[in-house]
Chain A
């Protein structure tokens, strides 16, 4: 456990020494804040449910996908490029500890990035009491969905980063995979096979997020994301093991 914590602290500190993290944090907060204000302004006209205020904007999700690709791209690619990965692999730590520590640090950074958005509505309601009421349950389940989707995509980014030494390639490939998975529901427009269509629908994160932000909790996406996290991290561990052996 102490080894894991040491690795985690190393990675966590690395985020705060990197200008990329601050750029990511700043741009994500600016875009999510802007999309929130935009949604609030049209809430009086449009038929929006509570979850739409925070999770109904495509800009928010697009920025979240970009941010997740950026915060995971360097995790292994940078270590491979600079040659520190070999040193790490020969140290008395297991591959599982390395992968999980990096994943945990990236996930925590993502949560830190998202945390200010929880203040948006309280700030708005505190500014002017009586402007309307907002139901809490869809917001809570919406954040549960955001956490699950975020954890899965970060695990995906960890795995992709473990495959290449080029950060830019890692970021582009991660973003492309995340984008396809997120909007896989729309691919069904071009698919005639009903089984493939059903699989694409069940993988579509936008569909899951819509459910979560309406206050619906379903065990199927939870199992999907937890198993997806397991597979991605397991693949990253096995990739490192193969590299260590060769």
Chain B
């Protein structure tokens, strides 16, 4: 008997697939274009002086906003995200609610506008007020709003002149590092996004991803001359200033933010990566003494960029910079437009791809799905973190193997996608990604990302890996710089896959909090005629049970002693279903999901039942337990 499972059965797995197959093939309508994309981008001209010794930034900014919204505007909100690093901010309160106790230095940041005016409108500082649209915390101060004395008419342009002063948060663990490496992220007053007919300017919270508008940046950063700067945009020149300071000039177009990192001992290593737009300069900055991981970072950056370019579309910017600031500086990895920050630990063995490979790939995913597509990550984080996690799992599997992409040691291994799935099952029932403040509801970033990755992997297994890749490519092509939403994504996938019935699936996965869990409750295989024994054949019965409340069609496979196999499908309706066979051979095992397609299943261990128990795995783990217990006891005995 062929070992291949009839692929026709796979088609049965999707809801409504029979109807889809029977219906005449109609050309699917094209997905809707993004809602009212801005035709002209705001422009920022920033001149900032950075004092490394105090970690302060003093700057002036000219913000030019063309009103292409189609309506007059009176109020203008600005992000002041560095104020999140104050003890009174909502961000700090969230940290404390989650049990974190941030160091004093980590909450020493801040940003204040000392002057603001608009050409033709006069001084606006008296109208400046802090607003908290998300949680009404009056002390948050991460969003400030000014009011013009008269509305800015549609089609007109306003130029704001702003003077600001920042205190950069010093979140690093090491005093020496805090005094050496400088990070400027969300550091200048930035306008909110006018989207779907209104301003969207969320507070800086842990419970949601950023949502930024695109703009053109011309930035002058003045630092001591020894400093090397890596940033969003591209450096267009540098000049020495009076007093010995050095000004670096950068330009970037259609950037969601302008971030920078500077240190006096950055070593630069770069190479060109060719793509359809002519090429991307891959630039890796690592500090002296940390250069050992630089080659590893550059290698994974190149390989991952190649996969993203091939699968999802060309990177539109001419340069991407990866900064390794050393240990103890970052809270995980970070991603900003054209700028990544990842540390490559020197001691990490080659067989462990969790750091830095998986992190670099994930941050590149964020470049594509968050910084370039730019959905509202604050309200639909699954479109940013979730898609980045899914693309991470696929790219990592492609580069390092499906089941070895995270760990590939002699005695232990795991795949990136498998680990993401495990992260998602850690908190079942918290799976709704459409609510704001999802993180406060008990979820976590890894849980959300993991569940999205598992859900898309499941969809990919069912509609085909190529179709899924094509759908993502099309989604990126359509909504690059377009602020898409979940409906745009769903529409694109439905259109590319040719299926019109994915909404129910997405409703359960994205909007619902249901748990998907199917179990083989029992398996019996007894002689049909006890008098004749085995010669009379066997009656085999399998009882399946839907443990969770997530309903989904499932395939069941039963293996027999003569090597034969039988399959059946269950649409998931009801709580249980029994299947029976009368065959000559005795059953050996029964299992659901033999294709390993239902990656959202919350328990893989109850998906199968083997008649003859095999205690090897249990004894192996018990042996580990005994060994650990003995070692622990001997260590304790050494203390007494």
Chains A and B form a bound pair: no
B-binding residues in A (CB < 8 A): none
